[in-house]
Structure 1
Amino acid sequence: MEKRATIKDVAEAAGVGVATVSRVLSGGSASPSTRERVLAVAAQLDYRPSALGRNLRQRRTGGIGLLVPDLTDTFYAQLSEGVLACARAAGEPVVVGSTGGDPEQEAELVGMLLEQSVDRLIAVPTGGADTWAPALKAGMTVVFADRLPAEAAPDEPDAFTDLLLLDGLAAPPPAPRPLDAPAVLADDRAGVRTAVRYLRGLGHRRIAFLGGPGHERRAGAFREAVGAPVDEELVVFATGSRDSAYAAASGLFQSRPDLTAVVAGGNVLGEAAVLAARELDLRVPRDVSLVMYDDVPWAELCSPPLTVIAQPGRDMGYRAAELVLRGGPRRARSVTLPTELIVRGSCGPRRT
């Protein structure tokens, strides 16, 4: 039996990424030449989402998909454990995938889940809204956790619907805006604001924020908390890797020796800040105070133990699984969970 063409086959033959194929087939943004090439290759390879169409037509459930950027990250491991606990109680299987913080890999995994008839998905998104349009337009129940994808581009003609019609299948209902999917988030604004107020109470004025992918909301909360004018040199972003986090932390300490405190946007960034400070002979908290977003086991084992903004990772995963299992035609409401500032030994008064 001849093997059915996949979305990856179309991407390779057209000389574009999987995310581009997804955007074209879902009616997202693409240049006219790219759109024409992708559709021509899809027709040539006879790529049609028949498996997806059968799944929608028969209303068949294929378990729950779970996509996170990094399974070795302690917070995402906690979130995954919450999802698995809820799914286990409901008797549902879970397919777990790691996107590596790569939008192209994320789009490929979403496409694979669709082809495998997985019709419910929990994701910590890496890509923008265009990455998620195919899943939402296909009728997949999606719940975002920890963060939201970037805003969608303006809608364009829907080529995905045309392919369904060519395949003799009913077109899916009009898609919601990708950001209309429910999400389970921590109260980043309150958490960061509390941390900045605590540091200001200790006399710190030159406070930096060290962020990574998906930390735009936390960076916004930081800017709001420190107030205008914001010294943008003290707002630094790294990519998702540990090497990048270390380079960003080290560069920040060396370029701004006047800073006296740092808020790290996640546990990988907090780890990088601790290592960079140690390499540069900066004493915590005597030379620099440090607050880290995420309470992970090693935070208490540091010398001194780290002050953290704790968010309930396991609860976040459990609630996301509850929402995705609820599904149905009535859109579930998003959930915001509280954060807590846990004061330990990594912060001290600013020294003159």
Structure 2
Amino acid sequence: MEKRATIKDVAQAAGVGVATVSRVLSGGSASPSTRERVLAVAAQLDYRPSALGRNLRQRRTGGMGLLVPDLTDSFFGRLAEGVLACARSAGEPVVVGSTGDDPEQESELIGMLLEQSVDRVIAVPSGDADAWRPAIRAGMTVIFADRLPAVPQDPAAASGFGDLMLLDGLAAAAPPPARALDAPAVLADDRAGIRTAVRYLSGLGHRRIAFLGGPGHDRRVAAFREAVGEPMDEELIVFATGSRDSAYAAASGLFQSRPDLSAVLAGGNMLGEAAVLAARELDLRVPQDVSLVMYDDVPWAELCSPPLTVIAQPGRDIGYRAAELVLRAGSRRPRTVVLPTELIVRGSCGPRR
């Protein structure tokens, strides 16, 4: 029996990424030349995404998939524990994949799960909504956990492609507006947690509060902006990629470029760790010189000197509830669940001096 072409085969033959193939095949945004090339290669290789939906309906294998950015991150480890505990109680196997917070790798794993007829997936998304549309259209039940996929950017608008067509006297068709993905999720109440932390720091007299952000922190950044209010000093919002080296560089650069800041809110435990290390390297005393709050509670936070004030989120519960939703999904569509966060005050914050 001849091997069926995969989404990865199409991407390699077309010279594009797997995420681009997913966007084109699901009707998402792409340049005309890229769209034409991908569709031509898909036809040549006889790649038919619609067959995936038939496979899912005809030979459901049981089990579920779990995609997380980093299994070594303690939060995602707790989330995975919750999923596995719920799946174990239901007698369901779990296929676990780590995306590395890389949208291309995520799209490749989605394609792999589809080809293996895994029809239920819990995911902490790394890519945008377009990466997930083909899977959902194929009949896969998807529950997002911890974060939501980003709304895709229009590449023609971002690159000025439409403007170039107009300059050449060509009528550029208006691309369809980018759409968010309407899929259920289990989330922590980021907004309330961030707002409570900012109010706590403001009550201590802090006015120059910085935010260290990373992949998937869009909602936390938005909550931070809302809590701080106008005018917003954009230099006090700094982003890192998913690596520890990037987190440390972002924290160190922030401390050195803005010696006037008095408090930092780290958007995740890796960023909190980086802030602690960078402050120590730069001889900044916590909380005398700078106050620190970290989003997410981890065991080492209490072992710091001083212990870190944190916004605790229920990682294991997020995973467990997501697994419950994906197991119960059927004719009745699950609703998004938002779980509470809690500010745990320890010794890393003090009054502004």
TM-score (norm 2): 0.90
Instruction: Tell me what 2:288 maps to.
Output: 286
Q: Name which of 206, 221, 235 aligns with 1:219.
A: 221
- Range moving further from structure 2, 91-100 or 323-332: 323-332
What pairs with 1:253-332 in structure 2 (closer than 5 Å)?
253-332=255-334
Q: What is the distance in 1 between the residues matched to 2:196 and 2:59?
A: 46
1:69 maps to 69
Separation (CA, whole Å) in 2 of partners of 1:3 and 1:350? 66
1:237 to partner: Cα distance: 1.0
Match of 2:170 in 1: none
Quick one: which amino acid aligns to residue 252 of structure 1?
L
2:207 aligned partner: 205
Structure 2: runs of 5 or more not aligned: 155-178
**Deviations 1:309-343, CA, capped at 9 Å, x for gaps:** 00000000000001111111322110000000111
Relative to structure 1, is the Cα distance of residues 341 and 188 closer, same or farther in structure 2, using a 3 angstrom cutoff? same
Offset at 1:46? 2.2
Give the conservation status (yes or no) of the 8 Å contact 2:212–2:251: yes
Aligned CA-pair RMSD: 1.5
What residue number does 1:160 align with?
none
Question: Residue 152 of structure 1: CA displacement?
Answer: 5.0
Is the contact made by 1:211 and 1:236 (CA closer than 8 Å) also made in structure 2? yes
Which residue is equivalent to 1:125?
Answer: 125
- Aligned partner of residue 27 in structure 2, secondary structure: coil
Q: SS of the counterpart of 1:217?
A: helix
| 1:3 equivalent in structure 2 | 3
Contact 2:49/2:134, CA 8 A, preserved across alignment? no
The share of aligned pairs that are identical, in percent, is: 87
Report the alpha carbon displacement of residue 153 of structure 1 after superposing the two structures with TM. Answer: 6.5
Partner deviation per Cα, 1:275-328 (whole Å, 9 max, x = no partner): 110110101111100000000111111111111000000000000001111111
- Give the 5 Å matches for 1:1-352: 1-49=1-49, 52-58=52-58, 60-151=60-151, 179-351=181-353
- Comparing 324-333 and 283-292, the one that deviates more: 324-333
Shift in CA distance, 143/178, structure 1 to aligned 2, threshold 3 Å: farther
Give the residue type in structure 2 aligned to 1:136. Answer: I
Work out the CA distance in 2 between the residues paired with 1:61 and 1:51: 16
Question: Tell me, what secondary structure is at the counterpart of 2:318?
Answer: helix
Alpha-carbon displacement from aligned partner over 1:114-140 (angstroms, at most 9, x marks no partner): 010000010011101111111111111
Structure 1 counterpart of 2:84, one-letter code: L
Q: Could you tell me how far apart the structure 1 residues matched to 2:17 and 2:199 are?
A: 44
Q: Distance in 1 between matches of 2:57 and 2:226?
A: 48
Match of 2:166 in 1: none
Preserved CA contact (<8 Å) 1:145 1:316: yes
Aligned-pair CA distance for 1:228: 1.1
Count of residues paired in the alignment: 329
Deviation at 1:49, TM superposition (A): 4.0
Amino acid of the structure 1 residue aligned with 2:138:
A
CA shift, 1:4, in A, is 2.2
Distance 1:51 1:93, change over 3 A: farther
AA aligned opposite 2:293: V
User: Separation in 2 of the partners of 1:38 and 1:230?
Assistant: 43
Taking the aligned partners of 1:105 and 1:126, their CA distance within structure 2 comes to 9
Write the deviation string for residues 237-266 of structure 1: whole angstroms up to 9, x where unpaired. 111111111111011000100011000000
Asked whether the 8 Å contact 2:186–2:336 carries over to 1, the reply is yes
Tell me the secondary structure at the aligned position of residue 47 of structure 1: coil
SS of the residue 1:284 aligns to? coil
Instruction: Tell me the distance in 2 between the aligned counterparts of 1:104 and 1:296.
Output: 29
Structure-2 residue corresponding to 1:158: none
Report the AA paired with residue 245 of structure 2.
D
CA distance in 2, matches of 1:227, 1:29: 34
The answer (yes or no) to whether the contact 1:130–1:153 under 8 Å persists in 2 is no
How far apart are residue 178 of structure 1 and its match? 5.6
CA offsets 1:64-101 (integer angstroms, 9 cap, x no match): 11001111000000000000000000111100000001
Q: Which digits, 9 at most, give the CA deviation of each residue in 1:193-222, with x for residues without a partner?
A: 111111111111111111111111111111
CA distance in 2 between partners of 1:335 and 1:96 (Å):
22
Unmatched runs of 5 consecutive residues or more in structure 1: 155-176
Q: Distance in 1 between matches of 2:42 and 2:221?
A: 41
User: Which has the larger displacement, 132-141 or 307-316?
Assistant: 132-141
Checking the alignment, whether the CA contact within 8 Å between 1:14 and 1:37 is kept in structure 2 is yes
Whichever residue aligns with residue 130 of structure 2, its letter is: D
